[in-house]
A and B are shown apart, each in its own frame.
Chain A
Amino acid sequence: MTGKIDPIVLELIQSKVTSIVEEMRVVLFHSGYSTVLRESEDGSAGLLDSRLRTIAVSKKLPLHFGSFSEIAQHLPRYYQTEELEEGDVILFNDPYSGNVTHPPDTVTLMPVFVNGALVAYSATLAHKPDLGGPRGLTAPKDLWEEGLVIPPLKYFVRGEVNREVERLVAANSRIPVETLGDLRGQVAACRVGARRAQDLCARFGAETVAEGCAELMRRVAMRLSDALKEMPDGTHEAEGVIDHDMIDLDRPRRVHVAVAKRADEILFDFSGSDEQARGAINAVPGLIKNTCYFGLMAIVDANLPFNHGFVDVVKTRFREGTIVCPRPGAAVSSYVPLAYLTSDVVLKALGEFWPERAVGSAGGGGAIRLIGTAPKSGKAWVLMELLDTALGATSTQDGVSLIHGTLGVGQFRPGPIEIHETEFPVRIVRFDVRPDSGGPGKFRGGLGCTREYQVFEDVMLPFRGKGELRSKVPPWGVFGGEPGRIGNLFVNGVEVPAKSREVHAKVGDVVRVDMNAGGGYGDPLERDALRLQISYLRFEI
């Protein structure tokens, strides 16, 4: 089972590569200019081998685990390995050329050389404060309405910045200083990763490191295969529905997965999903694959590190022209609701194989934006915050309340009320747990929240739709558990019509947002007396 590599060296390499990507992530958030990047920590770092296979990726954002795994398929269209030199940094954001999210996220990729040979790559993915695109209301109908599209190109050449690229980026950004500053931060993080990868090679030898990394991938693949063998064979399907694509408001969109598992092989087939949308809710396959990696990791072993071993084991199938595999050029900037939903759909299908590890649907994501204009100065302001939904119940415990969606676990939280009120013309008059919102079950889904904003200036709120586009099929329960309650938006107690695209509130009005709850697990009648009492103490019933 062990190759010829020394098992002690193997573990040392594992601990080094893990720490390299975490150190890169710290640098990423401490050298950028914009507060968006620094405070939301919306970004990831990775280390890849010479064949662009992921060795390690920072752990904070599960939705980004496989972010660098698509590069290998696309980069050769732009650069051959021989064209890459020491000190080069490749930059891109095109979702159809290796970036798995949307244009506001940029990827930097730096080849790492030892004695003139390309031995690895360091890479980062991070959200940019502004790369053009619509401001506010327009719903993009294609990729080109979503901002500047950058195919893989050399941002740094042999250690020197390519000024022409910077000029182009600056000319396409509303806040060029911050945007370029953040890009430089990504490069700084890549350089740190490259230097540490070189140190690692100096210590153990580049060949040993390469062998060790390949062995680490094999081990993860093996561990996954072993776990799959324990799982009963079969095929299970699951689907979820997005209310609409934000343009065609009457047409729900369905994501469907059929999971076929035999021995140690598993295939996630998404080809039964609906046709791609005109609106920006589409997601590219690279991102959808992440929901499969994450789903398997969550069910099999949360301590398993992510590396290329997952890519080797997890097979996927897509049909071009669907919402999860749009044709190049389709808009993707609002991919988040579909990404969260798909992760719940994948977990639902996997749960059918393994009931004791199943989980009710999470409530997903959600955010609120209040856009106002100061009457005196005419200066625009935006209060934007991510709000918490809840997790679904498992076979052993109630779902976690007030948390931001499955794939973002613990990552995002609303801003402090006391800071908001100090800085914006609003008063938050209520921030409560939504009692009784979690789906009933033997174990109850997590509870959502309710937040009310009284505004002291007129504001506009862009509105995606009821319950973050999940009202048609609310977050489901499993094995007899019931769905969680769906969220909604109200002004002065009056529900905002489902088809509204924007909502206006006047001075003194109160805007209320209710957030989705999670689904339950098992028959509610089986809930035992002790749990009922605990629920009572926790104010949950």
Chain B
Amino acid sequence: MIAKPKTPRFRVGIDIGGTFTDLCVLDEEAGDFFHLKVPSTPKDLTRGVMESVEAFLGEDRSPDDATFLFHATTAATNALLEQKGVDTWLVITEGFTGVYETPELGEILVGSYDYLSYPKPPLLVPQRKTIQIPERVDFRGHVVRPLDEAEARRRLSVLRDSGVEAVAVCLLFSFMNPEHERRIREMIRAVAPNADIYLSSETLPQIREYPRLATTVANAYVGPVVTRYIHRLEQALASRGLSRPLYIMQSNGGSLTSGALSKIPVQMIESGPAAGVLAAAHFGRLTGRERVISFDMGGTTAKAGIIEGGSPRIVPRFQAGPWLLSTPSLDIVEIGSGGGSIARIDKSGMLKVGPESAGAEPGPACYPGGGSAPTVTDADLALGWLDPDYFLGGKIRLDRSAAERAIAANVAEPLGLDVIAAASGIVKIVNSQMVEALRLVTVARGEDPREYVMVAFGGAGPVHAAAIAEELKIPMVIVPPLPGVTSAMGLLVSDLKRDYVQTRFADLEVVTAREVQALFETMEAEARDELGKEGIAQERIHYERSLDLRYSIQKYELGVPVGGGAVKETDKAGWRRHFDELHEQHYGSRAADQKVEIVNYRLTARVVLPKPRVPELPLSGEDPRGALKGRRRAYFDGWLDCPVYERERLQCGNRLAGPAIIEQVDSTIVMQPGHSARVDSYGNVIVEVMGERR
């Protein structure tokens, strides 16, 4: 007798954050979500993951019912930021020890330094662990100093029995000719067979030696840590019967199998934040919005991303702590304030909020066993915005008088204010920080926030979003159904994606269509080969080609998309036109008489995964009173009596007027006076930010 096999139906997303590990499962058949939060387990991240998996499977579900397993993890982030990577060595061209010592710095370090002991990004490999190899390739890829094999072997022999775990190899111009790097890999294997070896010509075959070297070193430094982590996790999942391939989120907003990621572990650094932006894009799409600001405010930080034309904005490099990494990444700005940020009076008598955070230990003053320093969460509570008895659905009981005492002693009394004025000030200041950070990703880059909607999530996001949107004149805030696990939901709508780059200079007028086509085809063959090894059929792979172009006098490039299929000679004029337009858009001028050069070829290989069907809710009436759970006083530059609603009982079509508070297990939506809101057919609360208030 043959039993009819059941169709698998659970799409699983697991997102590890700094404080919590979130699980979000979509039942593709029933169209509903299972979700939960467990504390993250920094010492062994897999424990938190497995705990959440157990909680899900424990309810009588079969692991065979899983369709996809998606994962966002802090494994690479922690290894880099806490400098807990492996013992790494570096191999370079002889005579170039200065390259790694001369970092390109991102904006973050600038203007926030101690002038006398300027904090350069720490070197992940000391000079003594740098091996210099006699060899040299020139800018055309010609060998001008042959690799001295005997000498190289002699110098590499220090690696024998050294316990080295990873080696980064970065030779000058290896993106034009990788032969010497490859030969050196063989030599290293002969003396240190257990070391992971990362070549710059494979990590980032792109011109500019510092970013290529720094990115390759970071890759090597976190690589073995990440590989071990994934291996352990896959084993643990398999032992629980979950044998589907694990798809891991990358900084570029695409997922990738663990096998393909092992070459570019550094791509996992912004794993979690990228998932959040993907989720925001998804909720934007659901509500018919293509220009979205994603706003994720948690305990210690807030993150903002930009979505244009329905897709997250991508930048060619990003800042991870003090390090600038040159891998394509979603454009995410991180702000060092969140619910746990501490308010204090500085030496000039000014009220400052953050960047110090009370974190999970000791936590805000209002937490059981919390600290003595007042935080943003304490201010939210004192203002009546949070319910002390319904924080995390009542799991944690907050102590309002402890919050007020902390604010009184540390802020109100020194400033000569009453507690409520001080609490309101703390909130205004933290909101102002968010506003200024959001201005930097929009206005300062020529984008008008009035043309965007904001998708707000994270535990503290919906509490603060509407006031922030109002100041930026963003007309609408969308709060997804499960703000606390929105990033994990973002995982469920991701595609597989792998980015490739190759520098090859050419005068756009001189280069032939055939040459351009040939180079793209070589890159596509590499993608096919790499993804093929992961069991992905080649007909499922879509390719997106683009060229980085520049005027020949300039140092920096702009990316121009190139259509698929065979490149034609006539295409070149179109790229040129497109580039001139982009240049004008970005820099306010074009130089039609200037020669244009190709610098980099870029290829994105994408495998579109089937998207979950999102069920629509039946339309109900406008009256939200069915969800009313009570009323309480809350402070909006004056005490107002506000209705308090239960999010889970709101119906599609309900309309609400601010001031109002909407509570749910994982967050609280604070509606400012004058704002109105409705519940859409996907359960989103859509806040219309109206009018002007002081």
What's the nearest-Cβ distance from chain B to residue A439, in Å? 15
Inter-chain contact B207/A38, CB cutoff 8 Å: no
Interface string of A377-406 (1 = CB under 8 A from B): 000000000001001001011001111001
- Within 8 Å of chain A (Cβ to Cβ): is B535? no
Inter-chain contact A181/B432, CB cutoff 8 Å: no
Inter-chain contact B96/A431, CB cutoff 8 Å: yes
Within 8 A of B (CB), among A170-197: 181, 185
Question: How far is B101's CA from A63's CA once the two chains are assembled, in angstroms?
Answer: 24
Interface string of B393-417 (1 = CB under 8 A from A): 0000000000000000000000111
What's the nearest-Cβ distance from chain A to residue B582, in Å? 13
Inter-chain contact A539/B207, CB cutoff 8 Å: no
- Within 8 Å of chain B (Cβ to Cβ): is A449? yes
Q: Choose among A8, A62, A226 the residue that contacts B351 (Cβ–Cβ < 8 A).
A: A8
**29 interchain pairs (CB within 8 A)?**
A7-B416, A11-B350, A11-B351, A11-B352, A11-B425, A12-B429, A15-B436, A26-B444, A27-B444, A298-B115, A302-B113, A302-B115, A347-B116, A391-B117, A394-B116, A413-B104, A414-B102, A417-B99, A417-B172, A421-B138, A422-B139, A429-B95, A429-B136, A430-B95, A430-B96, A431-B97, A450-B98, A537-B128, A539-B130
Interface string of A419-437 (1 = CB under 8 A from B): 1011000010111110000
Inter-chain contacts of A400 with B (CB < 8 A): 117-118, 120
Inter-chain contact B97/A433, CB cutoff 8 Å: yes
- Within 8 Å of chain B (Cβ to Cβ): is A490? no
Question: How far is B123's CA from A433's CA once the two chains are assembled, in angstroms?
Answer: 14
Inter-chain contact B117/A418, CB cutoff 8 Å: no
Q: Choose among B117, B348, B556 the residue that contacts A394 (Cβ–Cβ < 8 A).
A: B117
Inter-chain contact B428/A433, CB cutoff 8 Å: no
Q: Choose among B105, B116, B123 the residue that contacts A298 (Cβ–Cβ < 8 A).
A: B116
* Top 7 closest pairs, chain A to chain B, by CB: A539-B127, A59-B111, A8-B425, A298-B115, A431-B98, A430-B95, A19-B436
What's the nearest-Cβ distance from chain B to residue A172, in Å? 21
What's the nearest-Cβ distance from chain B to residue A306, in Å? 11
Inter-chain contact A359/B116, CB cutoff 8 Å: yes
Inter-chain contact A30/B587, CB cutoff 8 Å: yes
Within 8 A of A (CB), among B412-432: 415-417, 421, 424-425, 428-429, 432
What's the nearest-Cβ distance from chain A to residue B106, in Å? 11
Inter-chain contact A35/B555, CB cutoff 8 Å: yes
Q: Choose among A185, A406, A540 the residue that contacts B115 (Cβ–Cβ < 8 A).
A: A406
Inter-chain contacts of A219 with B (CB < 8 A): 348-350
The residue of chain B having its C-beta at the shortest distance from the C-beta of A219 within the complex is B348
Within 8 A of A (CB), among B169-184: 172-173
- Within 8 Å of chain A (Cβ to Cβ): is B33? no
Question: How far is B549's CA from A67's CA once the two chains are assembled, in angstroms?
Answer: 37
Question: How far is B97's CA from A185's CA once the two chains are assembled, in angstroms?
Answer: 39
The residue of chain B having its C-beta at the shortest distance from the C-beta of A433 within the complex is B97
- Within 8 Å of chain A (Cβ to Cβ): is B694? yes
Q: Choose among B102, B429, B589 the residue that contacts A11 (Cβ–Cβ < 8 A).
A: B429
Question: How far is B210's CA from A431's CA once the two chains are assembled, in angstroms?
Answer: 12
Inter-chain contacts of A11 with B (CB < 8 A): 350-352, 425, 429
Inter-chain contact B208/A223, CB cutoff 8 Å: no
- Within 8 Å of chain A (Cβ to Cβ): is B554? yes
Question: How far is B588's CA from A38's CA once the two chains are assembled, in angstroms?
Answer: 12
- Within 8 Å of chain B (Cβ to Cβ): is A242? no
What's the nearest-Cβ distance from chain A to residue B245, in Å? 38
- Within 8 Å of chain B (Cβ to Cβ): is A82? no
Inter-chain contact B102/A397, CB cutoff 8 Å: no
Inter-chain contact B111/A537, CB cutoff 8 Å: no
Inter-chain contact B429/A15, CB cutoff 8 Å: yes
- Within 8 Å of chain A (Cβ to Cβ): is B553? yes
Q: Choose among B415, B424, B444, B589 the residue that contacts A33 (Cβ–Cβ < 8 A).
A: B589
- Within 8 Å of chain B (Cβ to Cβ): is A301? yes
Contact A410/B109 with A394-B116, A449-B98 known, Cβ cut-off 8 Å: yes
What's the nearest-Cβ distance from chain B to residue A477, in Å? 14
Interface string of A444-483 (1 = CB under 8 A from B): 0000011110000000000000000000000000000000
Question: How far is B589's CA from A538's CA once the two chains are assembled, in angstroms?
Answer: 46
Inter-chain contact B128/A536, CB cutoff 8 Å: yes
Inter-chain contact A418/B207, CB cutoff 8 Å: yes
Inter-chain contact A418/B127, CB cutoff 8 Å: no
Contact A23/B98 with A8-B351, A30-B586 known, Cβ cut-off 8 Å: no
What's the nearest-Cβ distance from chain A to residue B129, in Å? 8
Inter-chain contact B126/A537, CB cutoff 8 Å: yes
Question: How far is B116's CA from A299's CA once the two chains are assembled, in angstroms?
Answer: 8
- Within 8 Å of chain B (Cβ to Cβ): is A498? no
Inter-chain contacts of A388 with B (CB < 8 A): 102
Inter-chain contact A12/B428, CB cutoff 8 Å: yes
What's the nearest-Cβ distance from chain A to residue B583, in Å? 11
- Within 8 Å of chain B (Cβ to Cβ): is A493? no
What's the nearest-Cβ distance from chain A to residue B185, in Å? 21
Inter-chain contacts of B587 with A (CB < 8 A): 30-33, 38
- Within 8 Å of chain A (Cβ to Cβ): is B110? yes
The residue of chain A having its C-beta at the shortest distance from the C-beta of B437 within the complex is A19
Number of interface residues of A (CB under 8 A): 82
Within 8 A of A (CB), among B566-606: 586-589
Interface string of B424-458 (1 = CB under 8 A from A): 11001100110010011001111000000000000
- Within 8 Å of chain B (Cβ to Cβ): is A2? yes
Question: How far is B553's CA from A410's CA once the two chains are assembled, in angstroms?
Answer: 25
Question: How far is B102's CA from A81's CA once the two chains are assembled, in angstroms?
Answer: 47
- Within 8 Å of chain B (Cβ to Cβ): is A294? yes
- Within 8 Å of chain B (Cβ to Cβ): is A16? yes
- Within 8 Å of chain B (Cβ to Cβ): is A137? no
- Within 8 Å of chain B (Cβ to Cβ): is A409? yes
Interface string of A76-115 (1 = CB under 8 A from B): 0000000000000000000000000000000000000000
- Within 8 Å of chain A (Cβ to Cβ): is B20? no
The residue of chain B having its C-beta at the shortest distance from the C-beta of A29 within the complex is B587
- Within 8 Å of chain B (Cβ to Cβ): is A203? yes
Inter-chain contact B209/A417, CB cutoff 8 Å: yes
- Within 8 Å of chain A (Cβ to Cβ): is B611? no
- Within 8 Å of chain B (Cβ to Cβ): is A210? no
Inter-chain contacts of B429 with A (CB < 8 A): 8, 11-12, 15
What's the nearest-Cβ distance from chain B to residue A357, in Å? 8
What's the nearest-Cβ distance from chain B to residue A501, in Å? 28
- Within 8 Å of chain A (Cβ to Cβ): is B114? yes
Q: Choose among B114, B128, B347 the residue that contacts A302 (Cβ–Cβ < 8 A).
A: B114
Question: How far is B444's CA from A27's CA once the two chains are assembled, in angstroms?
Answer: 7
- Within 8 Å of chain B (Cβ to Cβ): is A1? yes
Q: Choose among A14, A403, A538 the residue that contacts B118 (Cβ–Cβ < 8 A).
A: A403
Inter-chain contacts of B229 with A (CB < 8 A): none
- Within 8 Å of chain A (Cβ to Cβ): is B391? no
Inter-chain contacts of B439 with A (CB < 8 A): 19, 23
Within 8 A of B (CB), among A290-343: 294, 297-299, 301-302, 304
Q: Choose among B115, B126, B417 the residue that contacts A7 (Cβ–Cβ < 8 A).
A: B417
Inter-chain contact A402/B118, CB cutoff 8 Å: no
- Within 8 Å of chain A (Cβ to Cβ): is B505? yes
Inter-chain contacts of B348 with A (CB < 8 A): 219-220, 222-223, 304
Question: How far is B445's CA from A290's CA once the two chains are assembled, in angstroms?
Answer: 31
Question: How far is B505's CA from A219's CA once the two chains are assembled, in angstroms?
Answer: 55
Interface string of B172-210 (1 = CB under 8 A from A): 110000000000000000000000000000000001111
- Within 8 Å of chain B (Cβ to Cβ): is A416? yes
Interface string of B535-560 (1 = CB under 8 A from A): 00000000000000000011110000
Inter-chain contact B349/A8, CB cutoff 8 Å: no
Question: How far is B349's CA from A417's CA once the two chains are assembled, in angstroms?
Answer: 48
- Within 8 Å of chain B (Cβ to Cβ): is A39? yes
The residue of chain B having its C-beta at the shortest distance from the C-beta of A38 within the complex is B587
Question: How far is B124's CA from A537's CA once the two chains are assembled, in angstroms?
Answer: 12
Inter-chain contacts of B95 with A (CB < 8 A): 429-432, 452
Inter-chain contacts of B103 with A (CB < 8 A): 413
Question: How far is B110's CA from A58's CA once the two chains are assembled, in angstroms?
Answer: 11
What's the nearest-Cβ distance from chain B to residue A541, in Å? 11
Question: How far is B114's CA from A294's CA once the two chains are assembled, in angstroms?
Answer: 11
Apart from A11-B350, A449-B102, A538-B126: 16 A-B pairs, beta carbons within 8 A: A7-B351, A11-B429, A15-B432, A15-B436, A19-B436, A27-B444, A30-B586, A30-B587, A60-B111, A62-B115, A304-B348, A359-B116, A402-B98, A406-B115, A418-B207, A419-B208
